[in-house]
Amino acid sequence: MSNVPGESTPASPSWGKKQSTRLSIATQRRTWTRRADTWDRHNDVGMTKVAAKAIEVADVKPGMVCVDLGCGGGRLALELARRGASVIGVDVSAAMVDRMIAQAKSEGLDQVSGVVSPIEHLKIDPSSVDLVISNYALHHLLDADKAKVVTAAFGWLRPGGVLINSDMMLGRGATTEDRQVIASKIKVMAKKGIPGYWRILKNAGRYIFRLRERPITPDAWMRLYGAAGFVELASVNVVAEANVVKGVKPRG
């Protein structure tokens, strides 16, 4: 066991946090690699609307350098590249990144590159990026890691650069808004009969125990943005469960 000051040991709180992060990353990698072949077909109305709003808010211009965190098969990354941006898509699942790159090649979008990495450990040069964006990925992170990633994104962005998170955003049922969102989700799933009830049970377990789904409210995201130094904070509700939250790194 090491006695180096600041180094984590099995007895220290930071050791426990590191193990939780490792477990979370391994679970996400396994889950999403299994879903890589089918996820791109997940184009329900809500998801399509939320992704479209994120792209609209991003207002990307040709030549901009963008990072898409948890890019999956490239829903946002490819769209940004079609608008002339250079995009680094980052995902914990190599199968997801492969799909994004294959699609980029098939469209001749050679300014798309992929990085297989957990968002939690991503390294990007300081002040080298115009836009950091993410769609339905950051709610998978542990809360402490959400805060770290927002702070890291602040460092990667150039002055005037923008962080956009479009995601499932709700609390744990304490507010009327939370309860309305949860009720509407249950209603939609219940309409699907027995498979729907099974999904309700599975999702309730994940949500209550925060196993893979760890959403927080738009206000909580804005607090993280503010604490990291972002300004011009804005949040827009797109569908019941999802918001797009934007912040700008001060211009100097």
Ligand X SMILES: C[S@@+](CC[C@H](N)C(=O)[O-])C[C@H]1O[C@@H](n2cnc3c(N)ncnc32)[C@H](O)[C@@H]1O
217 contacts ligand X (rule: CB under 6 A): no
Is 215 a binding residue for ligand X by CB under 6 A? The answer is: no
Interaction between residue 92 and ligand X (CB under 6 A): yes
Please pick, from the candidates 55, 64, 70, 222, the single residue that binds ligand X as defined by CB under 6 A: 70
Q: Which stretch, 117-125, 190-198, 217-225, 229-237, contacts ligand X (CB under 6 A)?
A: 117-125
Q: Does the footprint of ligand X cover residue 207 (CB under 6 A)?
A: no
Q: What are phi and psi of 178, to 5 degrees?
A: -55, -50
Binding flag, residue 89, ligand X (CB under 6 A) = no
The answer to whether 130 and 62 are in contact (CB under 8 A) is no
- Whole-angstrom Cα distance, residue 26 to residue 142? 13
Measured CA to CA in angstroms, residue 65 lies from 53, 85, 109, 241 at distances of: 19, 6, 14, 29
Helix or strand run (H / E) with residue 64: none
Considering only residues 124 through 163, tell me which ones interact with ligand X, judged by CB under 6 A. 135-137, 140-141
Binding mask 37-56 for ligand X (x = CB under 6 A): --------------x-----
**Nearest by Cα to 215 from 192, 182, 186:** 182
Among the residue ranges 66-74, 176-184, 192-200, 223-231, the one whose residues contact ligand X (CB under 6 A): 66-74
Instruction: Count the residues of the shown chain that bind ligand X, applying the rule CB under 6 A.
Output: 21
The Cα–Cα gap between 225 and 248 comes to 9
Q: In what order do the strands lie in the sheet with 157-168?
A: 112-116, 86-91, 65-69, 129-135, 157-168, 242-248, 231-239
* Residue 119 binding ligand X, by CB under 6 A: yes
- Establish if 57 lies at the interface with ligand X (CB under 6 A): no
Which chain residues interact with ligand X by CB under 6 A? 25, 28, 32, 51, 70-72, 75-76, 91-93, 96, 118-120, 135-137, 140-141
